[in-house]
Chain A
Amino acid sequence: MRHGARKMLEKLQDVQMRLQDKPQLLRRGRLISDTVLLRVDGDEFYLHFDKGALATITPGPSKKIPYQFGLSTDAEALAAFWTPTPPPGFHDIFAMAKIGRLEFSGDILRLVKNLMFFKEVLLLGREGAA
């Protein structure tokens, strides 16, 4: 695994641990048992949610793992997103999509139906997030 991918995996594992300490967020996601593909600079990470918990993170590449929807971005954009007060455009995943730094794939309605949960999970990686 290349260095950038290893650092990203560590970051996602940190998000995974923080989510375990968020009972209200886990409750919000209690009906969500989906796999989400996060692609960063081409490196793939399959996030397997089980009743709201981020149960496992499987690094890719893989052509065999089914997923409900995917987010594809770059490490620089994601690093900006995770700063305490990102500049305009990097403060939200939909804003990142609008400025062309993130793309959605798969069942976007599945994402939108549970958008607050997935947004809050990703925000756990932001510096200063409790």
Chain B
Amino acid sequence: MAVETKLGAYICTGCDIGKSVDIEALEKLCTDELKIPVCKTHEKLCATDALKMIQDDIKSEELNRVIIAGCSPRVKTKEFTFDNGAMADRCVLREHVAWILEPNDEDTQMAAEDYLRMSAARMRATELPEANIEEIDKTVLVVGGGMSGMRTALSTANLSYDVVIVEKEDNLGGWARKFTKVFPKQAPYKDLADSGVDELISQVEAHDKITIYKSSTIKKIEGEPGKFEVELEGASDGVKFKIGSIVLASGWKPYDPEKLGHLGYGKSNVVTNVQVEEMTSNGGIKRPSDGQVPKSVAFIQCAGSRDQDHLPYCSAVCCRVSLKQATYIKEAYPDTLVYILYKDIRSPGQYEEFYKNVQENEGVCLTKGEVVRVDSTAGDGVEIELEDTLFGENVIVQADMLVLASGMVPTTKVEDLTEGETETAEALSDDNPADSEDKEDANTGASAEAGARILNLTYRKGTDLPTLKYGFPDSHYICFPYETLRTGIYAAGAVRAPMDLASADNDAYGAGLKAIQALELTAKGQAVHPRAGDETFPDFFLQRCTQCKRCTEECPFGTLDEDEKGTPEPHPNRCRRCGICMGACPERIVSFKDYSVHIIGEMIKSLEVPDEEDEKPRALAFMCENDAIPSLDIAAAHRLKISPFVRIIPLRCLGSMNIVWIADALSVGIDGAILIGCKHGDDYQCHFVKGSELANTRMENVREKLKQLVLEEERVQITELALSEWKKVPEVLNNFMDDVDAAGPNPYKGF
């Protein structure tokens, strides 16, 4: 229950508010109806003297809640943040009333009054959030000792963080140690470079903040950010230690060449680019059949990559790898002819210079085309036929040796599970196979959860970092490339996306930064992105839990484990504070101190609902505060107009929408409700991954309920609105109000 609140209300009359509504009437409402002990107005509440007035009142009147009735919380945020335990609610009279409704209209005044009622209800129901601050371990675990793993370790250890590297091989260095040369690093970008891996290995091995476990893998990781417990197996079997955050830098594996039979793999003198690299560092490139120097070598690009039957994505490095290997060949055997058979040469940025440099070599012939046939020839050579060439006719190339430029597969990719394995995997990823939601869910990467078994997390939602399409645990967000679905666990290097060594090296810095950021925020009891700094966390009133498991299943971040009975076990440091669990819970037992089913319910119940004969319908718009609310703010700034009968309620995420609010609304006589959230589907824009999708699913249930109550389905709607679509705000709300009007007054009005 809320502690005793002492409330103050401050009404701004600037920015057209005073010109649009009757301020005196609002003051009277605050004092008489809402019984707010301190109520003042000011022509510019954000001005220094006004802020001082509020601060003085907080002190002298011992206010612990203040209503700032003025502009949107998206502006003047710091100004209206008060110390001394006084919590502020921004009652949005500017963007939700003065700017977006007709000025000096009876309905506009009623809207302003309702927003004050909701603010007062919210302030009276809310509690002051208190951060959950615990002693945490600030060690970073780096999984994989290749280029990106070592760079992550070194760059975070240099900032005095303890780092543990777990490497499954018996030495550090990964692929970088196996490459003779790497792509040009510096201007003029023409010459191959050394990887610098040996220097990096010695720095990492000598660093006193870095502990390395070689020939070891992870048996299991329990816990949550700041409080993970790791157990190893392999050479360090049974070693246990505590860590705070994790960087997954487990790298890539070559695409299985056995699957490239159609391109000649298995025939004499057909090798992969990885084998060429091995040959180069072991005595030079020779024909496997007779150990002779090849007089001609052909490379087939996109061997497996950009192929719907193999790897639909582009492996991003193979063009440059072949250009590099052509350079090896020309340097060792100037007379050997090299053919590179390609679809597109992809040498981005300054690597174009490298490409041009190789292209200028007369003994290197680049030919565009699609390979249609690869055959052996007499003398253990190969013959390749290309179509769609620039000559307009098919081209036939003969060579002593063929190199398949095969692509990169992330180590998180689970290869071709057999049917039995798939079933086991599903059982592992979901204790309740009858519920099919997880299985349909490509975006949370059921396969990686089930099978990659690199991190071996003891999370109820699976053992590993969920992956996107093709097995990469990459971010879905263009603006936030280090986002993952497991808090405090980030991916770096070629496991995250196909990339070259220089990019993996660079990528490691970003992942390292995110890993220490998770530690620092967790240490303060704060959320990480996208609600960085939020000190609230969900409380579970477990005495009333019915073990329905909806919260554990629906949390996109795997926050909740569960005991044998199915009771959720929260791990607050894994939580992103979206409130999806709160929306999921049919028992309404999940609450944040300042955001709960109860608080919003109180806000809804505080609204004044006119009688049927007044012909003033009322409807609610539950809007996502990340996109839909800013969109409304922009529409308001452009003075677009909406129906005055709608009341806006911002939500942390549409996924936090608990359908009981619809029942609350209908039972107090409100005629309808619309939910406005972010795009869902494959290219979802929801910042909490599944929030808007889950809201849609829940709406199906609402429609069923409406039918049972013989209420029109149109009364409750859900729609998507991108931030950039602010011009559509009036259309969306007004069309909805038209539907509500058509349905007529809520028959439960007045009951």
Pair from one complex: no
Q: Which residues of B contact A (CB under 8 A)?
A: none
